[in-house]
Structure 1
Amino acid sequence: MSAVSAENAVTLRPMTGQDIDRCLVLERELFAEEGPWSAQAFRTELSSDTHYLVAVDSSGEIVGYAGLAVLGRQGDAGGVETEVRTIAVAPRARRRGIGTALLTALLSKADELDAPVFLEVRVDNQPALRLYERNGFQQIGVRKRYYRPVGVDAYTMRREARSARARAEEATG
């Protein structure tokens, strides 16, 4: 699946274990002060019920990645929920629609499951907040000092399941 404009062609594909080392370089660059994920953390995520993607540019370089966890099961009392685990885009590749493409792919997976989507985001990350709000997320809470060791707060956000959004549109439409 391709994303963004032709001159900035990026392909999204499933993340594999072979991508971990390249993702770690980006992880350390982007999340150094919050404690970047380890190789083991990526391996654990890939071995569980998750949907991880990488964004690869025309030279084969990974310029972004994102992950969505599936929590619960169809038929469980609480149903299925999903959680955006991470979205990362290399600084040199920003403002090209890669973050939007990654998020859109994750949201499509959640919509296939008819599941709400949750996430946490730094309260001072305005570009991410705008992206999430444009895509139907609403702030539902604050987690104090969530990002350690720096102690920055996080907003918790939620996007309703596809069926709930459709019902809300019918009620207001």
Structure 2
Amino acid sequence: MTHEPLDPRQLGAYFVLREAVSLLEHQIEQQLHADGDISYVQFQLLARLHHASEPLTMTQLADGVVYSRSGLTYQAGLLEKAGLVARSRAPEDERATLVSITAEGRALFERVLPGHVELSRRLLFDPLTDDDVRHLGDIMTRVRDNLRAQPPRSAAPRKRRDTT
């Protein structure tokens, strides 16, 4: 593992990426809140459940949306309270919690999706050529795969609190 500083080109690319992602996330959060009174994390959870052929475990959801276990539990609780998802114990493993999307959750997801697609297209894809989109997909796939080669967050041991 090298501890050399990033060269100016790498540092510039890093900051441009972080700024672009932050600006995009901010606009998307505003759209989702306006159209459905949900956060982006809640949208991601509904999207994963909407496209799943069966209920997903909390661990599958946490790994899929890259969110902490406690944060996901809180978000799933909010969605359940709003009637958008249902949680139940897994029959084959009583320690696992299954999450499924309700009819109300599907309806909300389908209501906010067109605005999400339009905004994503306008902010991210309209300034790019088809070649740019292909290159961006290739680059970000390599970055994602490198990051995903690490054990998922759900596999990390929980930190013990010092009670002394």
The structure with the largest strand share of the pair is 1
User: Which structure has the greater CA radius of gyration?
Assistant: 2
TM-score above 0.5:
no
Report the TM range for the smaller structure's normalisation. Answer: under 0.3
TM (norm. structure 2) is 0.26
TM (norm. structure 1) is 0.25
The structure with the largest helix share of the pair is 2
Higher relative contact order (CA 8 A, sep 6+): 2
